[in-house]
Structure 1
Amino acid sequence: MKNSILHKADSRFVADHGWLKSAQTFSFHDHYDPQRIQFGALRVLNDDIVNGGKGFGRHPHDNMEIISIPLEGTLEHQDSMGNVAVINPGEIQAMSAGTGIYHTEFNKHPDEPVTFLQIWLYPDQLNVAPRYDQLDYSKGDKHNKFLQILSPDPDDAGVWIQQQSWFHIGELDAGFGTRYSLKKAGNGLYVFVIKGNVHVNGEALERRDGYGLWPEADVNITATSDAEVLLMEIPEKW
């Protein structure tokens, strides 16, 4: 197994459906790349732009952990569990699909696009009861530090999912450096640069680049411009 893998932003497959433009880090739907299947339990990382008033009609999922993080605009969600929610930038939504759910996702604004990250992780246990969680982290302290926004523990900070994963998000000033320590030995770290430029263990990353590592020690992260960065700690096996 490689110790690291770099996914440059312009290497992603881009699916353009008119109402939806989706930049896909890993193989998804009709696009298949045997070299880009997953990173450990991280199966999907789509950077989606949905036109005003458009969206994904009612469709099913099962046995997958599904995370949505709006970056611009407003996303409206409805599901077969009875949840009706609006998700804004600064919020994160998580669903454990478990035994099966149906849901819809639409751009709530009729005239402006919504941009959001759609992330899927394999669960560490199959056929759990479906559940929904949502968190507003916008007022959390993420200035020159990484704020935890997802974990496997319902009593810990962030939304919770059925997997030994932790997500953190940070807004870093140019020149600021810090370290990330894994929560669980043997996990990997997938770094996604939402905006700006950073160095991760010396590797230069730009806007929308992704970088996966299987580190043996703490990971060093330095912003080379003002930057916003999502860290996803992911198990190799589950």
Structure 2
Amino acid sequence: MKTIYHAAGSRGHANHGWLNTYHTFSFAGYRDPERMHFGVLRVLNDDEVAGGRGFGGHPHDNMEIVSIPLEGDLEHKDNMGNTTVIREGDIQVMSAGTGVVHSEKNKHADRPVKFLQIWVFPDRRDVAPRYDQVTIDPAGEADAWQTVLTSRDDAEPGTVWIHQDARFSIGKFAPGAETSYALRAADRGVYFFVLEGGAEVAGKQLGRRDGLGVTDTDALPVIAGSEGARILAMEVPLG
């Protein structure tokens, strides 16, 4: 088993006033040649947007873009005709493919919105752009790994899918709960990101917003800390 640890405090950081953002991997003005990606997982940004502010219309292409709100409401608009709001408990995907233009704005003027922005390299180029979102049943993640994202070939009811052989799961574990995570194939790795609380993952103690990439194993133990833990597990191909 091999691991790579990224402490929350070691992430790239930028505070633009309206946007307070932390980058697990190189992004925008943050550049670290040792932290470019984990397999096909390219971007993991932890964003907080001030009330009434947001990202104006901007383009993307040939990237699978995943947004997971953690607090508040985020309004999305794009040139495919979608105008939606994603809230805590939702997950959104956008396959940029041949090109899309979209904007993201805090729906409310009086409170921030916090969300994860995740980019995954696709397994094919120049697909037709697409958009989807679902609401996750919180009961499904109680002391279990609830699948929230899959590949197109493995699409399941209640999940979103992307053009990549990836699988994202979220688990919310009670204090001291013991479980394991089993990878689906030998050529894959899993990147754990602690959303809340703390846990011991593959023998490593992790706190809130710490990340740990694990490769060269088929299964590994996870033990929730004294406050419990909510963890996002992103399993991706390494090539």
TM superposition score category, shorter chain reference: over 0.9
What one-letter code is carried by the residue in structure 1 that aligns with 2:213? G
Q: Secondary structure at the match of 2:141?
A: coil
> What is the deviation of 1:217?
2.1
TM-score normalised by length of structure 2: 0.96
Quote the residue 2:209 is aligned against. Answer: 208
What one-letter code is carried by the residue in structure 2 that aligns with 1:97? A
> What is the deviation of 1:123?
0.4
Is the CA contact 1:74–1:89 (under 8 Å) kept in the aligned structure 2? yes
Which stretches in structure 1 are left out of the alignment for 5+ residues? Answer: none
In the alignment, the residues of structure 2 paired with residue 181 and residue 40 of structure 1 have an alpha-carbon distance, to the nearest angstrom, of 17
Quote the residue 2:236 is aligned against. Answer: 234
What one-letter code is carried by the residue in structure 1 that aligns with 2:171? G
Is the CA contact 2:57–2:103 (under 8 Å) kept in the aligned structure 1? yes
In the alignment, the residues of structure 2 paired with residue 75 and residue 223 of structure 1 have an alpha-carbon distance, to the nearest angstrom, of 30
> What is the deviation of 1:183?
2.3
> What is the deviation of 1:148?
0.4
In the alignment, the residues of structure 2 paired with residue 153 and residue 99 of structure 1 have an alpha-carbon distance, to the nearest angstrom, of 18
In the alignment, the residues of structure 2 paired with residue 193 and residue 121 of structure 1 have an alpha-carbon distance, to the nearest angstrom, of 19
In the alignment, the residues of structure 2 paired with residue 103 and residue 25 of structure 1 have an alpha-carbon distance, to the nearest angstrom, of 23
> What is the deviation of 1:49?
0.3
TM-score normalised by length of structure 1: 0.96
What one-letter code is carried by the residue in structure 1 that aligns with 2:156? D
Quote the residue 2:100 is aligned against. Answer: 101
Query: Quick one: percent identity of the two aligned structures?
Result: 50
For residues 106-163 of structure 1, what are the alpha-carbon distances to aligned partners after superposition, in whole Å with 9 as ceiling and x for unaligned? 0001110000000001001010111111010034411000110000036324100001
Is the CA contact 2:43–2:120 (under 8 Å) kept in the aligned structure 1? yes
CA RMSD of aligned residues (A): 1.2
Quote the residue 1:57 is aligned against. Answer: 56
Quote the residue 2:192 is aligned against. Answer: 191
> 2:1 matched to 1:11?
no
In the alignment, the residues of structure 2 paired with residue 125 and residue 89 of structure 1 have an alpha-carbon distance, to the nearest angstrom, of 30
Quote the residue 1:144 is aligned against. Answer: 143
Quote the residue 1:156 is aligned against. Answer: 156
Is the CA contact 1:144–1:176 (under 8 Å) kept in the aligned structure 2? yes
> What is the deviation of 1:181?
1.1
For residues 56-107 of structure 1, what are the alpha-carbon distances to aligned partners after superposition, in whole Å with 9 as ceiling and x for unaligned? 0000000000000000110000111111110000000001100000000000
For residues 5-43 of structure 1, what are the alpha-carbon distances to aligned partners after superposition, in whole Å with 9 as ceiling and x for unaligned? 000000001111010000111110122111111111011
What one-letter code is carried by the residue in structure 1 that aligns with 2:201? V
Q: Secondary structure at the match of 2:9?
A: helix
Is the CA contact 1:140–1:147 (under 8 Å) kept in the aligned structure 2? no
Q: Which has the higher strand share?
A: 2
Quote the residue 2:89 is aligned against. Answer: 90
Q: 1:103 to 1:36 in 2, by over 3 A?
A: same
Q: Which runs of structure 2 are paired with 1:20-31 in the superposition (5 Å)?
A: 20-31=19-30
In the alignment, the residues of structure 2 paired with residue 153 and residue 169 of structure 1 have an alpha-carbon distance, to the nearest angstrom, of 19
- Structure 1 residue ranges (4+ consecutive) displaced by more than 3 angstroms after TM superposition: none
